[in-house]
């Protein structure tokens, strides 16, 4: 209890008031920017310290993701344009193959144009294709758009390269001399004996290219456009009829996937690919708003994912904070219980350090309880021994002669000094007994220079119990005083000697402690005429305290004082020469 009150006082001094002990002062006090800080705040700081560089990385990743999404859409637009251009090339190669097949018919070899006209009309008109044949001057010899024999014009300006370069050629958009509308021509030169003889051509209408674009199934907001070498629109996925034959103008962009405006006036990103066979260009436009929206959606999804993980992290941090603070609260409760002297309880938690603190507090409470019990026991022992000491002093005072006050004071003081010397030895040994040799030397301290010459002390290591040490100490002091006044140690008696010896004898219940004071070569000794208080100290007090038998022999050569006491007045065993001995039961 004394320990608990001291601890509580220290807490009051540290915090200024015992009211702080109410509640979790370390966990629930108003928050302040000044330390100390709660665990939850420190965890929040740790999360922020980790989150700042992470957020910077996330910001960089978000920017990269936005750029990547734009690049992805640009790439898709370009790939779509390339796919359409490849389909266009394949279609043109098919048309060239048809023309080359017609050019090798036997009828054409025999210049049977009527038969060739009939064969071409049967094979092509149902597919929306029209064939016409011209000689080297450009004069049309037949045209499947008209019956055979109908007069036909000279047509050479649209595909001069077929006549001059002598290889298959695809023209730009022109107004057909026969069709009277926008058409394109695919032409194949025909040779006889190494010389150009005819040019066989297919007349293509823009609707065929529109059908080719429709097969691509591009997203509704996207636009695909096929333009000729002069950037005139051949076909378009939307508003085809409105824009066929119109120039792209500023809307064209041949430098790759870049930003511009399409024919509808929309801000778009271009994907561009050339047709290697036709020489035309395929444009695929993606609205810029759609690109930005896709980038924003990707960024938003990324932010949502990051936010979700952040929320999970914060929730985890809150959970960890609770896991940490709960054991700390329990440890604080245990500490307050320890300070208030109440029972300390602590249940194991998930936090090893808190468990160590809680266990230490529980052990400290057990040690405190044990210490309080020892203190109470010691206080009772001190009270008991103080009463005994006062009783001894009272007995000394009552039994001493009081006729001469000065003599009474001197003799009373001497005896109190002897008693105090024995008491000092008991205190030094923690009241665990006094070694006989130490007790003898302390009572003969006034004659310490004679020890080893005129005073001989011999005996085995034996410890006396406290009551025995007090009684024998006072008796030895009385014997030393008398020897200095009247006996072997008196003045003018330089040959006098004192021998103090002791030993243990017997076994079992008969075992006894024997102490002998022998004076030699002193003045003649005779029994006293009356027995005073000194006799009481040397005989009666020792017999009563040790349950002993004391004898005094007034031999002519010197006084012999002998104590024969049961061995229970000593501590026996190996510890008698060292540490504290156990009291015999």
119-123, 281-285, 375-379, 467-471, range with the lowest pLDDT:
375-379
Helix (H) or strand (E) holding 122: helix 113-124
174 and 146 inside one domain: yes
30 and 119 inside one domain: no
Strands 182-192 and 169-170: antiparallel
CA dihedral over 526, 528, 533, 537, signed as positive or negative: positive
78 and 206 inside one domain: yes
- Residue where one domain finishes, among candidates 239, 257, 290: 290
- Residue where one domain finishes, among candidates 376, 399, 422: 399
Residue 27 has a pLDDT of 44
Buried residues in 351-361 as b, exposed as e (16+ CB within 10 A): beebbebbeeb
Which of 315, 332, 345, 312 has its CA nearest to residue 38? 332
The two three-digit tokens of residue 561, written as one number: 């004082």
Cβ atoms of residues 7 and 339 within 8 Å: yes
| pLDDT tier, 63 (very low <50, low <70, confident <90, very high otherwise) | low
Domain assignment present for residue 60? The answer is no
Domain assignment present for residue 540? The answer is yes
Residue 398 has pLDDT above 70, yes or no: no
443 and 364 inside one domain: no
Domain assignment present for residue 242? The answer is no
Residue 396 has a pLDDT of 58
| pLDDT tier, 559 (very low <50, low <70, confident <90, very high otherwise) | very high
What pTM does this model have? 0.48
| pLDDT tier, 500 (very low <50, low <70, confident <90, very high otherwise) | very high
Residue 359 has a pLDDT of 85
| pLDDT tier, 186 (very low <50, low <70, confident <90, very high otherwise) | very high
CA dihedral over 55, 61, 67, 72, signed as positive or negative: negative
Residue 62 has pLDDT above 70, yes or no: no
| Rounded CA separation 68/60 (Å) | 12
Residue 424 has a pLDDT of 62
The distance between the two most distant Cα atoms of the chain, rounded to a whole number of Å, is 189
Domain assignment present for residue 515? The answer is yes
Q: What angle do CA 132, 248, 213 make, to 5 degrees?
A: 60
- Residue where one domain finishes, among candidates 264, 290, 316: 290
**Higher per-residue pLDDT: 431 or 567:** 567
Residue 573 has a pLDDT of 39
| Rounded CA separation 175/123 (Å) | 24
85 and 108 inside one domain: yes
420 and 556 inside one domain: yes
356 and 484 inside one domain: no
Cβ atoms of residues 490 and 529 within 8 Å: no
Domain assignment present for residue 531? The answer is yes
Domain assignment present for residue 102? The answer is yes
Secondary structure E strands in 79-147? 130-135, 140-143
The two three-digit tokens of residue 238, written as one number: 């939307």
Q: Residue 530: is it exposed, middle or buried by C-beta count within 10 angstroms (0-12/13-18/19+)?
A: exposed
Q: Give 223-268 pLDDT, tens digit per residue.
A: 899 999 888 999 998 888 888 888 887 555 544 446 677 777 787 7
Residue 550 has a pLDDT of 94
| Rounded CA separation 32/43 (Å) | 16
| Rounded CA separation 231/246 (Å) | 8
Stretch 58-71: mean pLDDT: 69
Residue 12 has a pLDDT of 38
Cβ atoms of residues 88 and 80 within 8 Å: no
Number of domains in the chain: 4
| Rounded CA separation 202/173 (Å) | 13
Domain assignment present for residue 279? The answer is no
Residue 428 has pLDDT above 60, yes or no: no
Stretch 339-362: mean pLDDT: 81
Residue 378 has a pLDDT of 63
Secondary structure E strands in 335-411? none
**Higher per-residue pLDDT: 166 or 429:** 166
388 and 428 inside one domain: no
32 and 123 inside one domain: no
Stretch 537-545: mean pLDDT: 87
DSSP-based three-state secondary structure for 367: helix
The two three-digit tokens of residue 567, written as one number: 């061995």
19-28, 56-65, 308-317, range with the lowest pLDDT:
19-28
Q: At what angle do helices 288-340 and 2-15 cross, to 10 degrees?
A: 140
CATH code, 558: 3.30.565.10
102 and 151 inside one domain: yes
| pLDDT tier, 93 (very low <50, low <70, confident <90, very high otherwise) | very high
CATH code, 145: 3.30.450.20
| Rounded CA separation 393/488 (Å) | 29
Residue 585 has a pLDDT of 33
Domain assignment present for residue 338? The answer is no
Mean pLDDT of the chain: 78
| pLDDT tier, 20 (very low <50, low <70, confident <90, very high otherwise) | very low
Domain range for residue 133?
70-210+284-290
Cβ atoms of residues 191 and 236 within 8 Å: no
394 and 525 inside one domain: no
The two three-digit tokens of residue 40, written as one number: 């939850």
87 and 203 inside one domain: yes
Residue 17 has a pLDDT of 39
Residue 304 has pLDDT above 60, yes or no: yes
| Rounded CA separation 121/417 (Å) | 153
């Amino acid at each position: 209890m004394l320990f608990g009150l001291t601890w509580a006082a220290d807490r009051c001094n540290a915090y200024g008031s015992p009211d702080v002990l109410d509640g979790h002062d370390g966990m629930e006090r108003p928050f302040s920017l000044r330390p100390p800080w709660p665990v939850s705040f420190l965890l929040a700081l740790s999360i922020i310290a980790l989150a700042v560089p992470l957020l910077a990385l996330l910001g960089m990743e978000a920017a990269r993701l936005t750029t990547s999404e734009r690049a992805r859409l640009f790439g898709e637009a370009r790939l779509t344009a390339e796919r359409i251009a490849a389909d266009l090339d394949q279609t043109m190669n098919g048309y060239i193959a048809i023309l080359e097949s017609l050019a090798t018919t036997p009828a054409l070899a025999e210049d049977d144009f009527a038969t060739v006209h009939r064969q071409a009309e049967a094979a092509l008109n149902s597919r929306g294709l029209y064939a016409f044949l011209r000689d080297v001057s450009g004069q049309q010899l037949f045209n499947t758009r008209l019956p055979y024999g109908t007069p036909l014009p000279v047509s050479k300006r649209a595909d001069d390269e077929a006549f001059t370069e002598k290889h298959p050629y695809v023209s730009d958009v022109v107004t057909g001399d026969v069709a009277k509308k926008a058409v394109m021509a695919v032409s194949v030169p025909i040779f006889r004996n190494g010389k150009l003889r005819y040019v066989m051509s297919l007349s293509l209408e823009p609707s065929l290219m529109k059908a080719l674009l429709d097969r691509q199934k591009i997203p509704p907001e996207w636009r695909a456009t096929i333009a000729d070498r002069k950037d005139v629109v051949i076909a378009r996925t939307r508003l085809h009829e409105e824009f066929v034959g119109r120039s792209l103008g500023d809307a064209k962009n041949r430098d790759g996937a870049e930003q511009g405006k399409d024919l509808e006036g929309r801000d778009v990103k271009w994907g561009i690919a050339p047709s290697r066979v036709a020489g035309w260009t395929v444009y695929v436009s993606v609205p810029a708003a759609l690109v930005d929206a896709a980038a924003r959606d990707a960024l938003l999804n990324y932010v949502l994912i990051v936010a979700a993980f952040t929320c999970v992290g914060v929730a985890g941090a809150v959970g960890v904070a609770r896991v940490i603070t709960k054991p700390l609260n329990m440890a604080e409760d245990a500490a307050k219980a320890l300070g208030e002297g109440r029972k300390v309880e602590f249940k194991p938690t998930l936090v090893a350090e808190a468990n160590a603190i809680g266990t230490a507090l529980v052990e400290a409470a057990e040690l405190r309880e044990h210490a309080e019990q020892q203190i109470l026991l010691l206080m009772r022992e001190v009270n008991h021994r103080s009463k005994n000491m006062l009783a001894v002093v009272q007995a000394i005072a009552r039994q001493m002669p009081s006729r001469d006050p000065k003599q009474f004071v001197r003799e009373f003081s001497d005896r109190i000094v002897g008693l105090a010397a024995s008491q000092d030895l008991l205190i030094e040994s923690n009241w665990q007994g006094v070694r006989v040799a130490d007790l003898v030397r302390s009572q003969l301290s006034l004659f310490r220079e004679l020890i080893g010459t005129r005073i001989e002390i011999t005996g085995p290591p034996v410890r006396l119990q406290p009551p025995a040490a007090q009684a024998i100490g006072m008796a030895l002091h009385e014997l030393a005083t008398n020897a200095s006044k009247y006996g072997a140690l008196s003045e003018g008696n330089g040959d006098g000697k004192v021998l103090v010896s002791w030993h243990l004898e017997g076994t079992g219940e008969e075992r006894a402690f024997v102490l002998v004071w022998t004076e030699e070569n002193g003045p003649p000794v005779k029994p006293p005429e009356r027995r005073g208080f000194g006799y009481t100290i040397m005989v009666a007090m020792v017999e009563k305290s040790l349950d002993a038998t004391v004898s005094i022999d007034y031999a002519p050569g010197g006084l012999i004082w002998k104590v024969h006491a049961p061995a229970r007045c000593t501590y026996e065993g190996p510890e008698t020469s060292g540490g504290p001995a156990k009291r015999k039961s």
